[in-house]
């Protein structure tokens, strides 16, 4: 049978990096084996599921390029099917109605905690013959009382849990709607999922689900539980650890392939290799090489990978992605150099696209003020004659291109008997507004003659006024 994996998020929030990683692993495994990848929205919790979350999850998947072959399926559209199977279980006495009230269950749980035993349903309605008046019952699955459930996890190896640890879980709420542990099982069965790849936090659910699967007479899928991602404080990754929403990384100027590369390498490895193209990870990915231990999210390394891809990716493609950020910030790029050229001079000094955008803003719009420190250091009285000389010589330059502009600067340094830095730095502050920019000749070329001359004049006036 050919492989089929699925990603089954519940639409109660954004797509976070942990979810994205399990999605990636499932996607990779399907791709690698020429199988199929299914997206299923687990929205049985009507209270908390929102359309907004669905949209955001889909956007995240699409931004990452994790396309699915089937779906999205919505569990809320399959209630009829779940109802059928619950009835069938009831008919076979593999499930039963439970009339316990919430208060009763709370009291039971409290009592068990006090006795320092694992809180669980004690099965008091297991053999009840008569309904109780005034209570809408839930349906509980009749879990086997003896023996143990053993399964072979593709990442962890053998896992065994005694049935005595498992209680009779609720498969239908009192309003008749099915619950998670039941719907996953039915869907995985109906959709012929062969490999269930999911977070570690589901490991305890697996034995229960296996019991239900058996009661339903279904074949068992393979299971692979990937470890959690922790924040820098060792606790489970959450909002307070910074950007955990996938889309937030887009906002912050990360490239999808950088995030993907970081995520695939977090908890999985192929020898010493650090950089993987999508093709490479698809080819090399193995569940057996997934680490068993939880790993800590390290944004420094993600940043490094992002920079790596900014340095090495196709400039045209990067320009397109950079454009997204300019648009978002409503910056008009018509009046400045082509974005591809900006990418080429800025890629080595920008770790994110946001950084790149900020550093290139001065090509497109006049800056409001000069960087204070830069003014102090570079706009000293002696800079005046340098800038005046530059203004004069730049006006006379015939071909406005890097090489000739470079000659102007070096020539001036020679004739004025100054170091390069004494010429280039004041010039840089004059045209860029701050002491940092790409090489001065490239910057001048991209900025163009008109803007360069204007800004030199502006700087000269500024220094003159400052010295009054």
The interface with RNA within residues 372-431 (CB under 7 A) comprises: 406, 419-421, 424-425, 428
- Which among 26-34, 123-131, 303-311, 328-336 is the span making contact with RNA, rule CB under 7 A? 303-311
DSSP 285: -
Shortest Å distance, C-beta 327 to RNA: 25
Task: Considering only the stretches 189-197, 285-293, 379-387, 450-458, report the one whose residues sit in contact with RNA under the rule CB under 7 A.
Answer: 285-293
Contacts of 239 (CB under 8 A, 6+ apart): none
3-state class (DSSP) for residue 265: helix
Check binding of 202 to RNA (CB under 7 A).
yes
Asked if 428 and 440 count as a contact pair (C-beta separation under 8 A), the reply is yes
**C-alpha 284, offset from chain centre:** 21
Residue 298 interacting with RNA (CB under 7 A): yes
DSSP string, 43-91: ---TTT--HHHHHHHHHHHHHHT---SEEEEEGGGGHHHHHHHHHHHHH
CB 39 within 8 A of CB 30: no
User: Residue 266 Cβ, how far from RNA at the closest point, in Å?
Assistant: 5
Residues 361, 343: Cα–Cα separation, whole Å = 12
Residues 160-189 that bind RNA (CB under 7 A): 160-162, 165, 170, 173-175, 179-181
Count the site residues for RNA by CB under 7 A: 85
What is the footprint of RNA within residues 355-374 (CB under 7 A)? none
What's the rounded Cα separation, in Å, for the pair 104 and 88? 28
Helices (H), 163-294: 180-190, 205-215, 246-251, 256-265, 278-284
Among 269, 282, 393, 454, binds RNA (CB under 7 A): 269
To which H or E segment does residue 386 belong?
Answer: helix 383-396
Of the residues 118, 239, 301, 466, only one is catalytic, namely 239
List beta partners, residue 139: 97, 172
Stretch that binds RNA, among 58-66, 156-164, 213-221, 459-467 (CB under 7 A): 156-164
The reply to whether 76 sits near RNA by the rule CB under 7 A is no
Q: Does 62 bind RNA (CB under 7 A)?
A: no
Does residue 190 touch RNA according to CB under 7 A? no
116 binds RNA (CB under 7 A): yes
Radius of gyration of the chain from Cα atoms?
A: 31
Does 349 interact with RNA (rule: CB under 7 A)?
Answer: yes
Q: Does 440 bind RNA (CB under 7 A)?
A: yes
Q: Which is nearer to RNA, 35 or 227 (CB)?
A: 227
> Strand locations in 272-410, DSSP E?
295-296
Decide if residue 205 touches RNA (CB under 7 A). Answer: yes
Residue 404 CB, nearest distance to RNA (Å)? 14
239 noted as active-site residue:
yes
Instruction: Please tell me whether residue 72 binds RNA under the rule CB under 7 A.
Output: no
Cis peptide before 48 (omega within 30 of 0): no
Q: Using CB under 7 A, pick the residue from 15, 189, 213, 230 that binds RNA.
A: 230
Q: Which of 92, 101, 329, 335 binds RNA (CB under 7 A)?
A: 101
> C-beta of 332: minimal distance to RNA in Å?
25
From 126, 239, 292, 373, residue interacting with RNA (rule: CB under 7 A): 292
Distance of alpha carbon 388 from alpha carbon 224, whole angstroms: 70
Pick from 54, 105, 125, 453 the residue near RNA by CB under 7 A. 105
Phi, psi of 97 (to 5 degrees): -80, 140
Q: Does 10 bind RNA (CB under 7 A)?
A: yes
The one segment of 63-71, 77-85, 124-132, 200-208 that binds RNA by CB under 7 A: 200-208
User: Phi/psi zone of residue 77: left (φ > 0), alpha (ψ -120 to 50 degrees), beta?
Assistant: alpha
Least separation in angstroms between residue 331's CB and RNA is 21
Active site positions, annotated: 239
């Amino acid at each position: 049978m050919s492989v089929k994996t699925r990603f089954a998020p519940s639409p109660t929030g954004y797509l976070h990096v942990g979810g994205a990683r399990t999605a990636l692993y499932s996607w990779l495994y399907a791709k690698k084996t020429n199988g199929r990848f299914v997206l299923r929205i687990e929205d049985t919790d009507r209270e908390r599921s929102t359309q907004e979350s669905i949209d955001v999850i889909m956007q995240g998947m699409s931004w990452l390029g994790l396309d699915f072959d089937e779906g999205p399926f919505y569990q809320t559209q399959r209630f009829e099917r779940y109802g059928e199977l619950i009835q069938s279980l009831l008919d076979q006495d593999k499930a039963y109605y439970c009339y316990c009230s919430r208060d009763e269950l709370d009291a039971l749980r409290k009592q068990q905690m006090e006795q320092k035993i694992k809180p669980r349903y004690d099965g008091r309605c297991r053999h009840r013959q008569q309904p109780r008046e005034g209570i809408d019952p839930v349906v509980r699955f009749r879990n086997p009382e003896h023996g143990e459930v053993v399964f072979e996890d593709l990442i962890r190896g053998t896992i065994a849990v005694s049935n005595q640890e498992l209680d009779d879980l609720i498969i239908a709420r009192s309003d008749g709607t099915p619950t998670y542990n039941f719907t996953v099982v039915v869907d995985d069965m109906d959709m012929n999922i062969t490999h269930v790849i999911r977070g570690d936090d589901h490991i305890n659910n697996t034995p229960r689900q296996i019991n239900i699967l058996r009661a339903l007479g279904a074949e068992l899928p393979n299971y692979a539980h990937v470890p959690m991602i922790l924040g820098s404080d060792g606790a489970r990754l959450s909002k307070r650890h910074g950007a955990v929403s996938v889309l937030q990384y887009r906002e912050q100027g990360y490239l999808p392939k950088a995030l993907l590369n970081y995520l695939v390498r977090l908890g999985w490895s192929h020898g010493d290799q650090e950089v993987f193209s999508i093709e490479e990870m698809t080819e090399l990915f193995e569940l057996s090489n997934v680490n068993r231990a939880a790993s800590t999210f390290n944004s420094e390394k993600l940043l490094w990978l992002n920079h790596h891809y900014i340095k090495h990716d196709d400039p045209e493609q990067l320009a397109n992605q950079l454009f997204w950020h300019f648009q978002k910030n409503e910056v008009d790029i018509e009046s400045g150099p082509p974005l591809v050229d900006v990418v080429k001079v800025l890629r080595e000094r920008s770790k994110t696209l946001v950084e790149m955008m900020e550093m290139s803003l001065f090509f497109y719009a006049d800056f409001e003020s000069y960087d204070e420190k830069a003014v102090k250091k570079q706009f000293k009285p002696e800079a005046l004659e340098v800038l005046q000389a530059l203004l004069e010589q730049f006006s006379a330059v015939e071909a406005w291109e890097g090489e000739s502009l470079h000659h102007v600067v070096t020539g001036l340094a020679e004739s004025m008997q100054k170091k390069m830095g004494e010429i280039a730095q004041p010039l840089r502050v004059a045209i860029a507004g701050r002491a940092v920019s790409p090489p001065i000749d490239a910057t001048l070329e991209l900025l163009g003659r008109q803007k360069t001359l204007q800004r030199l004049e502006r700087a000269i006036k500024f220094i003159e006024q400052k010295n009054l």
